Structure 1
Amino acid sequence: MSEYEGHQYVGVDLHRRRSVIVRQTEDGIQLSAVRILNDPVALGLQIEQAGCHPDVVLEAAYGWYWAADVLQAAGARVHLADPLG
């Protein structure tokens, strides 16, 4: 769990082999930015740092569905974003 106790917003820039995960506060203050290998365990460990029921924006790029499943199983509210939008 993160040291920040408030609600967190998470952005996931999903790529084929690796992804970047950025966590921030409600006020937009960045808490962390990490690069992970795309693995359900690695993603799950990172989303645990965002506390209870974070809002997560996930890029709806090729292969997004596995990440959405992992995030939802961890209690996140997942919002899909158009990668071209």
Structure 2
Amino acid sequence: MSEYNGHQYVGVDLHRRRSVMVRQTEAGVQLSAVRILNDPVALGLQIEQAGHDPDVVLEATYGWYWAADVLQAAGARVHLAHPLGVKGFAYRRVKNDIRDAADLADLLRMGRLPEAWIAVALVC
């Protein structure tokens, strides 16, 4: 776990093979930015660095559901960013994966994230 013990916000810019995770404090200070292979074990190990019960945001793009399942199993509160709500990211002057993940974390942290609904499967 990192040296910061407060609540953390994590933005994940999820792609097909690799993803970028940015961790922030409640004040918006960036704690880390890492690239990982899209593997459940790698994602689980990285989310452990965010401490207890972090808030994590993913953009609702193709294949987000496996990451949401892994993050929820690790104890994270998962939020799904609505793709139309964050469409403006494409028009920024500075565009890269770290910036995208940090902006997602910022929107969540400030309570301005346009959220999509995550369906929950009921097992009977």
**Given the two structures, how large is their TM-score scaled by the length of structure 1?**
0.96
SS at match of 2:5: coil
SS at match of 2:45: helix
Structure 1 position 82, deviation (Å): 2.0
More helix by share: 2
Counterpart in 2 of 1:29?
29
Q: RMSD in angstroms over aligned alpha carbons?
A: 0.5
| CA offsets 1:30-59 (integer angstroms, 9 cap, x no match) | 000000010000000000000000000111
| CA offsets 1:9-31 (integer angstroms, 9 cap, x no match) | 00000000000000000000000
| CA offsets 1:51-83 (integer angstroms, 9 cap, x no match) | 000000111110000000000000000000123
Structure 2 unaligned spans of 5+: 84-124
Greater Rg by CA: 2
The whole-number CA distance in structure 2 between the counterparts of 1:48 and 1:18 is 18
Moved over 3 A (4+): none
SS at match of 1:72: helix
Structure 1 unaligned spans of 5+: none
